[in-house]
Chain A
Amino acid sequence: DSGVTQTPKHLITATGQRVTLRCSPRSGDLSVYWYQQSLDQGLQFLIQYYNGEERAKGNILERFSAQQFPDLHSELNLSSLELGDSALYFCASSSAEVAASSYNEQFFGPGTRLTVL
């Protein structure tokens, strides 16, 4: 158990809908990262938040947005869902904002499997 929790575990929805995925980081971790793992794209970094502020953006679509709340939990919002959005969405957390030549492991949650029908 990594200490990172994600809800829900599974989500099935229809095209055009909007869903929210939730992540609680490990106790004490200020950084939260979101990743998408799909069969055709592999594991892709989406976005990172540190202590409530956006820090880095990866291959995140405009239909997707995220935020980190004062209690450090984070939500990933996916709207106007398409079939291709079906994937496993991971949240990870770490203690640091930026690791400059130092160890900074990311701990992954169990993931949310999203199926868009």
Chain B
Amino acid sequence: AQKITQTQPGMFVQEKEAVTLDCTYDTSDPSYGLFWYKQPSSGEMIFLIYQGSYDQQNATEGRYSLNFQKARKSANLVISASQLGDSAMYFCAMREEGYSSASKIIFGSGTRLSIRP
């Protein structure tokens, strides 16, 4: 069965430092996608970055990069040069992408990131 694990319930980081948010996953499907979403205190879910299971290179989107280690089943989010506005809840998510699967997506329990000035 699919499973997403985020082991860090909360993190405090100094502004301008880089931060790594951990995510491990479990799936028996060879084809899947991994996502990270940000949820600020206002409540909306904001898409950050996507990594496909067959992608050869780690995904990057501006200050966000995904450290994808397929053999270890980990998909850690790296935020470089953190900013105060990065303070939010971060969710790792996975979707199995086989033809027989609908686009069901499961989420981890989230990591609350707080950036200190």
Residues on A lying within 8 angstroms of B by beta carbon are 2, 31, 33, 42-45, 48, 50, 55-56, 58, 88, 90, 92, 94, 96-111, 113
Contacts and interface: CB of A to CB of B under 8 A. Distances in A.
Nearest to B105: A45
Contacts of B33: 99, 103-104
Contacts of B47: 105-108
A90 B45 contact: yes
B101 A42 contact: no
A53 B104 CA distance: 15
Nearest to A90: B45
B43 A111 contact: yes
B46 to A, nearest CB: 8
A88 B102 contact: no
Contact of B103 (A90, A104, A113): A104
Interface of B: 31, 33, 35, 37, 43-47, 50, 52-54, 91, 95, 97-99, 101-110
B105 A98 contact: no
B42 to A, nearest CB: 8
Nearest to B99: A100
A96 B101 CA distance: 12
B98 A100 contact: yes
A77 B31 CA distance: 33
B31 A42 contact: no
